[in-house]
A and B are shown apart, each in its own frame.
Chain A
Amino acid sequence: MIPTIEASPAEIYDIELEHSLLEANAELARKNQQLLDRHGITSIDIMGAIGSGKTTLISKLAKKLSNRLGLAVLNGDATTADDVSIIADAGAQVIQLATVNGCHLDANLVGKALKRLDLEKVNLILIENIGNLICPAEFPLGSRSRIVVVSVTEGPYMVKKHPHMFLGADIVVINKLDLAEAMGVKVENLASDVHKLKPDIRVIPTSCKTGAGIDDVIAAVAPQNPRLHA
């Protein structure tokens, strides 16, 4: 028989720690936010599933905005050279964040990217998160607000299936409006699902193809910045 030494109750200790496992990221996110606040920069974290239209939306915003204000784009999602050149040609500073196989951006990567930007020339930073409707919800980046892009081609149940993503968002963009009829998806049902989760959230239907709703997104991302509406 193998001898077993059992500790007497007096030798068993419980140490209280309350050590948050996500605190390292949260702390870096706060530092990013402070840095951006010091420079008066608005930053937006753009999240959404693969193929929902995050990159296209950013390209449309870049085209309309970059002649009016200093725009920078941090691309976390795999972005083609074509996409990057559209955004860069529009005059935005672009930095690619290579996560290789990572499923979300974190505040550390964003912090490193911010060091490489000329912040004096920037008023608005759009951060394109990795195409994923789960993991990014847990990792704040230090942005002022968070947009979730969901498109009608993802089907009628995307909101119900990914509630946490929407609970943490400030604005929801329902994209590919032009395909809603063909898909048999009702935009108002998606919007009503979002409002069941979070009644005060702003929902903006868009079509990056026809340009519908893009101006509403512009008005929502930085309503306090008069230069955006010049």
Chain B
Amino acid sequence: MQFVSEKQPSEVRAVRLAVGELTCVQHEQLRFCYQSLVGQTEIKGSALEIETVPAEVSCSHCQYEGAPRYWDEALAVELVPTLQCPQCGKAAEAVRGHECAIRSIQYVS
């Protein structure tokens, strides 16, 4: 809304979000909330595009950097990312995957 009042675009086409794999944000529910909220506003009709940011971990024990180990048998419907290093099994730190940000807005001037 701050963007709309500053730029005064004739139309906002899309709002693009980056949502990390390690957040608790459920994409379908977020889309539903977005459409419910913007229906009465100047950005009515705009699409919400959500890009998933994959988790990445870094291990101080073996210097591994990359995708986390997944606990695949934990839940029936989805993989659970963990902070266990896939290479050495010790504690790793999440360096990516906690994002929840508006990445860009597509608009018509």
A contact set with B: CB distance below 8 Å: 7, 11-22, 134-135, 137-138, 160-161, 163-164, 167, 193, 196-201
**Is chain A's binding surface mostly helix, strand, loop or mixed?**
mixed
Q: Are A167 and B107 in contact (CB under 8 A)?
A: no
User: Could you count the A-B residue pairs with CB atoms below 8 Å apart for me: how many are there?
Assistant: 90
Q: Quick one: given A11-B108, A21-B102, A199-B84, are A135 and B24 in contact (CB under 8 Å)?
A: yes
Pick the 7 closest A-B CB pairs, nearest first.
A200-B91, A7-B108, A160-B74, A20-B101, A199-B91, A19-B102, A163-B80
- List the B side residues contacting A17 at CB < 8 Å: 3, 101-105
- List the B side residues contacting A167 at CB < 8 Å: 22, 81-83, 94
Q: Are B100 and A196 in contact (CB under 8 A)?
A: no
CB pairs A–B below 8 angstroms (5 shown): A163-B74, A196-B74, A197-B83, A197-B84, A200-B90
Q: Are A15 and B89 in contact (CB under 8 A)?
A: no
How far in angstroms is the closest Cβ of chain B from A48?
16
Distance between Cα atoms of A199 and B82 in the complex (Å): 9
Q: Are B24 and A164 in contact (CB under 8 A)?
A: yes
Closest Cβ neighbor of B101 among chain A residues: A20
Closest Cβ neighbor of B73 among chain A residues: A160
Distance between Cα atoms of A22 and B17 in the complex (Å): 12
B1-18 Cβ-contact flags toward A at 8 Å (1 or 0): 001000101110100010
Distance between Cα atoms of A200 and B102 in the complex (Å): 33
